[in-house]
Structure 1
Amino acid sequence: MKSLKIKESLKKVWADNPIVRKTTGVVLVIIGLISIITPLTPVGFLLLLGLEILGIRILVWDKLKSWFKK
């Protein structure tokens, strides 16, 4: 029961506070870049996860779609 309350409160903070999302994304990008240089994690998937949180994939995808439509 307690874990459900924690989960709900974390969802609320994540949805209502864009600063938390941006900070989490930037931290994951930095850790991902470090992990590419050092063998901490395979292929730096945290970099991709951080970019996804920041919404970079959506921006790039829209630009690529418009570029190929021309």
Structure 2
Amino acid sequence: MKEKIKKIWTENPKVRKTVGVILVVIGLISIITPFTPVGFLLVLGLEILGIRFLVWDKLKNWFKKELPK
């Protein structure tokens, strides 16, 4: 069972995207309501979607351009 879930997770990006979006929506709702503290699921959903890596790479590139060597 675990191997099957792992295979679906790695081979099908639509599954990861769907789970990530669902967690982001639940996280946004949890910020407004007291479901979980400080929207923990929002952060988890963004991590699954890979937003953190995208933002981090853009920040690194910006600092490389802007800071003198």
Task: State whether TM-score is above 0.5.
Answer: yes
4+ long deviations beyond 2 Å: none
Query: What's the TM-score, normalizing by structure 1?
Result: 0.90
TM-score with structure 2 length normalisation?
0.91
> Shift of the alpha carbon at 1:67?
1.1
Q: Deviations over 1:14-39 (max 9, x none)?
A: 01111100000000000000000001
Residue 61 of structure 1 aligns with an amino acid whose one-letter code is W
Gaps of 5+ in 1: 1-5
Q: Residue 38 in 1 paired to residue 42 in 2?
A: no
Point out where structure 2 has 5 or more consecutive residues left out of the alignment.
none
Q: CA RMSD in A?
A: 0.6
Percent identity of equivalent pairs: 78
Aligned length: 65
